[in-house]
């Protein structure tokens, strides 16, 4: 079940921008940047935990830290809403069929709880080959997809023209060593009506901050 509050579009602090990018120029904005994950990789190895789930936890924590990243649009009523919480839709890749299964994991600020549950979700998904996408019943889930085969430089997600999809779409690839540091490409896509370059860049800045704090544990 998703809980949310309705945002008054007349008092919304991005009112002018929202109007322009939902009426005149419906588009999204995306950025790919490299995030230093050296400490997180080392921490994961030291603790015997999975780097992937650790990063997923920190990413979801960041996206829950600001209302801007938890916005949604109800086209049936033309309402701008803000969810109390958003959760990650992760994906399990099946080597034998070269297909993936969506995994709806629920966010918890408690790292141990999230880690345990996300790991169980992945293991259950490995037992099926069904695509199983159910976005209608998971309105406050965002796409979080790992591309482990490539350390890419750019990635772009295209949506139909004029489609007011407000949930974040985040991808990340294989990290690689650069000047003695492990750098990982991360791509963040947000609808321009509710986010500009600053808010997209803020995701990366908050990620760096959360990684540093997390690895001090």
pLDDT in tens, 110-138: 999 999 999 999 999 999 988 988 988 99
Structural domain total, the chain: 1
Closest to 118 (Cα-Cα) out of 171, 206, 62, 49:
49
Complete DSSP assignment for 126-191: TT-------GGG-TTEEEEEEETT---S-------TT----S-EEEEE--EEETTEEEEEEEEEEE
pLDDT at residue 1 greater than cutoff 70: no
Instruction: Give the mean pLDDT of the chain.
Output: 95
Query: Can you give the pLDDT at residue 160?
Result: 75
pLDDT, mean of residues 65-89: 96
Query: Can you give the pLDDT at residue 159?
Result: 81
Query: Can you give the pLDDT at residue 8?
Result: 97
Closest to 28 (Cα-Cα) out of 203, 204, 190, 211:
190
Could you say which DSSP state residue 110 is in? S
* pLDDT, tens digit (0-9, with 9 covering 90-100), for 136-180: 899 999 999 999 999 999 998 888 777 899 999 999 999 999 999
- d(Cα 195, Cα 217) in Å, to the nearest integer? 32
- d(Cα 165, Cα 61) in Å, to the nearest integer? 21
Task: Report the share of the chain in percent with pLDDT over 90.
Answer: 88
Closest to 93 (Cα-Cα) out of 103, 79, 80:
103
Q: The domain spanning residue 21 has which CATH number?
A: 3.30.559.10
What is the domain range of residue 189? 4-214
């Amino acid at each position: 079940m998703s809980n949310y509050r309705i945002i008054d579009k007349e008092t919304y602090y991005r009112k002018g921008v929202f109007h322009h990018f939902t009426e005149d120029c419906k588009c999204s904005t995306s950025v790919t940047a490299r995030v230093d994950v050296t400490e997180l990789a080392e921490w994961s190895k030291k603790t015997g935990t999975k780097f992937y789930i650790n990063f997923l936890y920190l990413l979801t924590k960041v996206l829950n830290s600001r209302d801007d990243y938890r916005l949604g649009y109800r086209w049936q009523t033309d309402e701008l809403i803000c969810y109390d919480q958003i959760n990650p839709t992760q994906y399990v890749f099946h080597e034998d069929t070269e297909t993936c299964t969506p995994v709806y994991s629920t966010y918890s600020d408690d790292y141990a709880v999230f880690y345990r549950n996300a790991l169980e979700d992945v293991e259950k998904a490995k037992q099926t080959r069904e695509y199983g996408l159910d976005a209608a019943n998971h309105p406050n889930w965002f796409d979080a997809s790992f591309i482990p085969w490539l350390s890419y430089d750019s990635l772009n997600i295209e949506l139909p023209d004029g489609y007011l999809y407000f949930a974040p779409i985040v991808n990340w690839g294989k990290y690689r060593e650069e000047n003695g540091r492990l750098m990982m490409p991360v791509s963040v896509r947000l609808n321009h009506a509710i986010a500009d370059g600053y808010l997209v860049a803020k995701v990366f800045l908050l990620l760096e901050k959360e990684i540093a704090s997390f690895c001090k544990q």
